[in-house]
A and B are shown apart, each in its own frame.
Chain A
Amino acid sequence: MKDVAVIGVGQSSFVRGYEGSIRELAFEAFREAMQDAGITQKDVDASVFCSAPEYDKQRSPAGVLAEYLGLIPQPTFYVETVCSSSSTGLKVAYSMIKAGLHDVVVVLGFQKMSEITSAESQERMGRGADIQWEAPFGTMMPAYYALYAQAYMSKHGLTHDDLMGVRLKSSTYGVINERAVYRKPVKPGDFKQGDPEAKLAGPVAWPLRVGDCCANADGSSCIILANAQKAKALSKKPVWIAGIGAASEAVNMAARPDFAKGLSVGYAAAAQAYKMAGITAKNVKVAEVHDCFTIAEIMAYEGLGFAPAGDGKQLIREKATYKEGKIPVNVDGGLLSKGHPIGATGGSQIRTIVLQLRGEAGPMQVPGAPDIGLVHNIGGVGLYGNVTIFNRD
């Protein structure tokens, strides 16, 4: 199935309050990916732009950004699945290439969350789920994930210290990732309840605390895909797409099957991707998972089969998901430390895995020359799930 390869990757620094417009933000990731691939715009047949539209003042940004990137008159369009938009963009681009319509496609994820005021942003957050039946209660993302955390902690003995363990791991790598928005070291004292100096301890939506939640950020990511013929001609180190899985779930919490089991889309997308790649969880050497909240990383371990259901906490307690562990996860800081610019997040995860497989991840490089990597990217509160598996020659 080695028919589509990643031949170039790029991402901007993830920052608070990017000093530029969305087209300039997009160009940062694009420039890096094009220089990485060593190609020019003449080599690109089409582009796919990915973001969550409620943050953009620009209507229909694909055409505007394509022009700024020098990608006209080639076809371009927009793809959205909230936080997993650029993983969905990758799947669409893969399909375009597999169908034989195009040879080389640019997938550009971007989000300038600071494009709107924080009051506007809060209102949009409240409308991020079922606006007819749930938003009227005053819902927001941390509260939804807290519903999962509460049920999971109650059933499986997961503790607040385990959740803190996820954040401590994340910050270990956020400190050394120069593209991350949150680079300060985090220590257990930062979570101490009742201590006014403990900045990560305050409740947001109990049982989740400030330190359990990822940071908003502005950022962009760019992935360039090519068919096998072009990849071999253009790239010395192609990384192949070995498996793709994607699933959706009911938006309303009243229709969710089992809160203590985690997100159903994580399980469903993983099963598809493993089957397509012809591998199991044991073959994965490095992974990026969607840790928008600490609980989400624990649930992802189980959905992906890195741990049996209910046992995800053991991986954190044993430090098995650190860089030197048996299955390194989010060793670039993840969403918690690197930041989560909605539409750019999936592409950033993919970039990390591609660099890991090429042995170019610098201080974050997983030892042992990993040959198979996985990206797990969730949209909304498990509304959309995407798992993509990569390998190299």
Chain B
Amino acid sequence: MGFEKFGRKSFTAVTKTAKFVDLLAEGKVEGTVCKDCGVKFFPPRADCAKCFSKNMDWFEMPKKGKLETFTTAYYAPFGFEADPPYAMGVVDFGGGLKLFARLAKNIKPEDLKVGGDVTIRPLKYDDDQLSFEIAKGDQ
């Protein structure tokens, strides 16, 4: 249990990576790293696909990355109707590590560009759901 707290609306309640939500509550956005072979994963995984190990540790995601791509959604799926428009994007931290999330509400669409400097930060919604978002690099 616990993972139903993740995101605007979660579709998953039980996962071995539910600690991710506890870490968000502590203000940390973390991925998992295999203790046996050192491979890093984001989103987090409970099992290493490379060496089959289940000995995973948590590591804090880098703060600085580049916005690889983004979109602004003007329609939303069922359960998200109150939110549009909202932007979503992919951050590339280098070294094969990327992340997908919404962009912070305070970023103006005209300020977004592919390759721009961005950072990531945890986010708590009014209904206590926990998530993370992409923010401008200087914040």
Contact = CB atoms under 8 A, between A and B. Distances in A.
Nearest to A153: B114
A41 interface: no
A147 B71 CA distance: 6
Contact of B79 (A123, A146, A150, A203): A123
Given A132-B43, A154-B114, A254-B98, A206 B74 contact: yes
Contacts of B86: 138
Contacts of A253: 90, 98, 100
Nearest to B43: A133
B72 interface: yes
B100 A143 contact: no
A254 B41 CA distance: 10
A226 to B, nearest CB: 40
B134 to A, nearest CB: 11
A131 to B, nearest CB: 4
Interface string B77-89: 1111001001011
A155 B114 contact: yes
A131 B73 contact: no
A132 B10 CA distance: 7
Contacts of B6: 136
Contact of A147 (B70, B78, B102, B115): B70
Interface in B63-77: 68-77
A59 to B, nearest CB: 21
A28 interface: no
Nearest to A118: B78
Contacts of B90: 147, 253-254, 256, 259
Given A254-B42, A254-B43, A254-B90, A140 B71 contact: no
A150 B15 contact: no
A205 B115 CA distance: 19
Contact of A133 (B69, B72, B100, B114): B100
A188 to B, nearest CB: 22
B80 A138 contact: yes
A126 B78 contact: yes
A260 B10 CA distance: 30
B75 A205 contact: yes
Interface of A: 119-120, 122-123, 125-127, 130-140, 142-143, 146-151, 154-155, 202-208, 252-256, 259-260
Interface of B: 3, 6-12, 15, 42-43, 68-80, 83, 86, 88-90, 98-102, 109, 113-115, 131
27 contacts: A122-B78, A126-B77, A126-B78, A126-B79, A127-B11, A133-B100, A135-B11, A136-B7, A136-B11, A137-B88, A137-B131, A138-B9, A138-B76, A138-B86, A138-B88, A140-B73, A143-B71, A150-B69, A154-B115, A202-B74, A205-B73, A206-B72, A253-B100, A254-B43, A254-B90, A254-B98, A255-B98
Which 10 pairs show the lowest CB-CB distances between chains A and B?
A136-B7, A126-B77, A146-B71, A123-B78, A138-B80, A151-B69, A154-B114, A133-B43, A253-B100, A131-B11
